[in-house]
Amino acid sequence: MRESQHHPFRAELGATLRLAGPLALANMLQMAVFAIDVIFVARLGQESLAASSLAVAIVAVVMMGLNGVTGAVAPLIAAEIGRRRNSIREVRRSVRMALWLALALGVGAVGVCFLGETIMLATGQDPHVVALSGSFIRVVSLALVPMAVANVLRTFVSALGRPVFATMITALAILVNALGNYALVFGNFGAPALGLNGSATASVITACVTVLAYILAIRGDRQLRRFHIFGRWWRPEWNRLRQMLGLGLPISATLIAEGGLFSGAAFLMGRVGETELAAHTVALQIAAFAFQVPYGIGQAATIRVGYHYGAGNKSAIGHAGWAAIVIGLAFVGVSALAMLLFPKAIISAYVDVSAPENAAMVILAMQYLFIAAVFQLTDGLQAVVAGALRGIQDTRIPAVIAVLGYWAAGFATSVALGLFTPLRGVGVWIGLAVGLTVAAILLLARWHWRGRFRLVPESVVQPVSAPVIHAVIA
């Protein structure tokens, strides 16, 4: 589809929506995959839910680190397509090196997770809960390698104009995970009743099925098959690998800083109390579910901005970034309103709000959800702006901003208010809001003054039509 020459901003709004829609839906479906685990584990009791949340807190941070490094393939692919210079070969090289990183770093990530029980004990968690959590994390960490590979393949199909594949495959993952949990947690379909470890096993199976589905989708699509991304997989491209690490390691640091903030909050909640930790887990699931839409918009911004960055089109870079920001703010406004107006109804999707044994947890979860509604705007804004900055391959300073915002401002506030004031869990969540707000303001300032910081090309080059480019912008 040819972009309008008279309304470039309107054209970018349309192009970003077409790309972000399937990505955001896929992200939300992915959260549904994780939510299934929470729903089944919650039926085992608050102790099991607390144990799984501690394990997931570690696994999630490690997974974010993996996705950050391998996710650098997105701006590289987009820029290569925008330049139109040997795009098929260059895209193949980028994807191949990203797969190398997914495999190598994924194995290392599993090793880190095997130390999870030691990490939990070092942070002062309940030893009985840690014992349950340690067994769970050793099983669920085996899903890290296939999940990292799936992230690379998802980025590839999305950047090449097939984001709907990500949506369809994630929908399949929901079905697989639900059946796996139903069978392995409670012993249905003749399977053994593994309890908490059954949910972890279901996650591993789901991750492997997801990778297989992406491989079949890529091989079955004419547009994607022509890139031969699995050809000569043993051949190294050292320059591309170094370039990917140069972009990806700061992205990884950014995601770890953000994920670490929320995982650190889970550990703080573990020290505050088991009920507070369970309430935190439920409220965070809801906030994270809503976050998937602006995160998907940020992913689309990386691709759209990256395409124009590769083409050297300075004005189009601005249009693409601001279009994504407008779309992101519009959505988070709606999600924040829903959390403010219907908190109990939303929480009921995860736990039985009428059960007397859940009464205290539900009250706390509602309080936390109120704060989550307040920081929806800044959380969504920082996600979209960070995506736009990645599109212009600006990742190092945003990583510094993330560490300062999330930890120097956010986590420090959570510790102070959560452990040393009567606010307890509410104080921890106020700290989350502070960290996200500081990061959002600093990132937005950097995007606004991107020209002053010389982050974008000075000249404007209009790209020439090409089939693969239309696949990206359509």
Q: How far is CA 427 from CA 92, 276, 284, 333, in A?
A: 48, 12, 15, 23
Q: Where are the domains of the chain?
A: 8-473
State yes or no: pLDDT of 2 exceeds 50: no
Structure tokens at 36: 């299934």
Contact (CB, 8 A) for 347 and 286: yes
State yes or no: pLDDT of 119 exceeds 90: no
State the virtual CA torsion across 428, 433, 439, 444 in degrees, nearest 10: 180
pLDDT value for 459: 54
265 vs 3, residue with greater confidence: 265
What pLDDT digit, counting tens, does each position of 440-472 carry? 999 999 999 998 998 987 654 444 333 334 444
State yes or no: pLDDT of 4 exceeds 50: no
- Is residue 305 very low, low, confident or very high in pLDDT (cuts 50, 70, 90)? very high
Structure tokens at 354: 């009428």
pLDDT value for 1: 41
pLDDT value for 470: 41
d(CA 182, CA 129): 23
Structure tokens at 263: 């995982």
* High-pLDDT (> 90) share of the chain, %: 57
pLDDT value for 142: 94
d(CA 370, CA 411): 19
pLDDT value for 367: 92
What pLDDT digit, counting tens, does each position of 143-202 carry? 999 999 999 999 999 989 899 999 999 999 999 999 999 999 999 999 999 999 999 999
- Is residue 270 very low, low, confident or very high in pLDDT (cuts 50, 70, 90)? confident
Structure tokens at 324: 């994504």
**Token pair 């990742």: residue:** 395
Q: How far is CA 22 from CA 113, 165, 295, 411, in A?
A: 31, 8, 12, 33
Nearest residue to 150 via CA among 67, 233, 86, 85: 67
Contact (CB, 8 A) for 170 and 109: no
Residues whose CB is less than 8 angstroms from the CB of residue 116 and which lie 6 or more positions away in sequence, other chains included: 55, 58, 59, 133, 134, 137, 138, 141
What pLDDT digit, counting tens, does each position of 380-424 carry? 999 999 999 999 999 999 999 999 999 999 999 999 999 999 999
**Token pair 């976050």: residue:** 291
pLDDT value for 474: 40
What pLDDT digit, counting tens, does each position of 53-100 carry? 788 878 888 898 899 999 899 999 999 888 875 588 889 999 999 999
